[in-house]
Structure formats: structure tokens, C-alpha cells
Copies of this chain bind each other. A is one copy, B any other.
Amino acid sequence: MALFSSLTPVFIAIICVLIGVIMKKTNGEKEKRDTKSKHPSRPWVDEDLKDGTDHPLEEEEWQGLEENVAHVPFTGERYSEAEMIKRSQAFYELLNKRRSVRFLSDEPVPREVIDNVIRTAGTSPSGAHTEPWTFVVVQDPYLKRKIREIVEEEEEINYKKRMGDRWVNDLKRLRTNWIKEYLDTAPYLILIFKQVYGRLPNGKKKTHYYNEISVSIACGILLAALQVRVFPGHLSLADLCLRASQNACIE
């Protein structure tokens, strides 16, 4: 462990909380709608196009939309081709130093850095700009311990029951298992919650489309923001996807 004490712990333990909301009713409606329409239902599309409403728009409702367009012009800085090549190369070399580390030091990190990193992740694009994410920073040792317990319990089940031999063998090569000591040692855990729906003013649920993809993209930007400080931006996909434990976290 000492070997790894040079690692900054703040980059670990990004847990993407994927709330297991299954919108059966909505599914039903979508299927009805699609079979009614002259277009065949395409599960791989419909999957992410769930909505709590059952009123597809008619052709004519789209008329006049084009005249109505009022986009905002973008003015960005420019670089020469040589400069673009140089910058893109340098950024590749920096991010290529990131490693998914499993042993971390408890060395403190300024909270302002964490806040900047989360702010950066919050610039991520999202479906219909719903920004379906919630970032929670955990510092309390007791809470970190409870989170570790939940994560390890679920991971042990994953390794022993849920995963197949092939995946387990992949992971053996990586020397990982369900023990996640770093969840205790890291001074911060950043929990990332996926919001599968929002609330309308009338209190009704409003589906957040492509929410898992949106949150995962934000995680990628968060990783880049962590790495830009030239410390290993850690993301354990195992943690990221521990949906059961994540669910438990917010119960």
C-alpha cells in the first residue's frame, strides 16, 4: 500500500448511481404508438425514447418551425493548424497518463479543486439539455464506510454469482476483486446520480432521455478534468456500474 501513497485519492471512487426505475407503463404506450404508426418499432431506438405521454405530434405541428429558428452565433478562439496539432498531441499525452488506480493516499485535496472538477463535468451535453445528473461529494468517514460496505457486498455477489467465468477471468488479469479499501482512504467520494426523470411544475414525472449516456459522458469529462491536474483520474467501471449498491446508497 505504501508504494501507492503518492497517489491522490480524490480521483477515485466515482460511483454512478443508476436508479432502477422501469417505466413499464410508458413502454406499453410507446409500443402501442409505434405499432399504430406506419413505422416499425425499433427497440434499440425506442428504449431511450420513453416518455410519460402518449400524444405523438402530427406532421402539421412541425410547420413553421424553420422560419422560427433563432440560433445564437458562436465565436470561439482560433488556433493555427500547427498549434491545433501541438495542443491535441499534448492533451493526448496528458490523458494517456491516467490510470485506474486501486490504492490511494488519504492526503487532503482542496475542496475548491473538487468543486471545479464537478463544475467542469456539469458542462457536459445532455439529451434535450436535461442535465440529468446529481453530484454528491462525501467526506464523512462514517458515510464513506457505509458506502464501502454496500459497494463491497454487491461486488462480492457480482464476482461470485452475477458475472460469468469469462468476465471473472478478464478481471483476474486486472487483479481486481470486490474489496475496495480506497473507498475508506480517499478523502472525497464523488457519487454521481443518474436522474432518470425530473418533475414538471404540476408534479408529474418527466422522463430524462438518454440519461445514462448523458451521465456517462459527464463522467468522461470529469475524468479529463481530474487528469488535467496531472494526477490519475480514477474511474472504476465496476464502481460506476454498481447499480444495486448505488440504489441502496440513496434509499
In the docked arrangement, what's the CA distance between A126 and B235, Å?
A: 9
Do residues A220 and B229 form an inter-chain contact, with CB atoms below 8 A? no
Q: Which of chain B's residues have a CB closer than 8 A to the CB of A3?
A: 73
If A210-B237, A213-B240, A220-B218 touch, whether A175 touches B113 (CB-CB below 8 Å) is no
Tell me, yes or no, whether A138 is within 8 Å of chain B by CB: no
Shortest A105–chain B CB gap in Å is: 11
Tell me, yes or no, whether A187 is within 8 Å of chain B by CB: no
Most chain B Cβ neighbours within 10 Å, of A98, A100, A217: A217
Tell me, yes or no, whether A25 is within 8 Å of chain B by CB: no
Q: Which of chain B's residues have a CB closer than 8 A to the CB of A89?
A: 116
A113-129 vs B, CB cutoff 8 Å, 1 = contact: the mask equals: 10011011001111111
Do residues A165 and B53 form an inter-chain contact, with CB atoms below 8 A? yes
Do residues A167 and B85 form an inter-chain contact, with CB atoms below 8 A? no
Scan residues 188-225 of chain A and give those whose CB is less than 8 A from a CB of chain B. 200, 206-207, 209-210, 212-214, 216-225
In the docked arrangement, what's the CA distance between A228 and B84, Å?
A: 9
Select A65's contact among B97, B120, B172, beta carbons within 8 Å: B172
Do residues B44 and A88 form an inter-chain contact, with CB atoms below 8 A? no
Shortest A193–chain B CB gap in Å is: 13
If A73-B3, A85-B113 touch, whether A96 touches B68 (CB-CB below 8 Å) is no
Shortest A64–chain B CB gap in Å is: 11
Tell me, yes or no, whether A180 is within 8 Å of chain B by CB: no
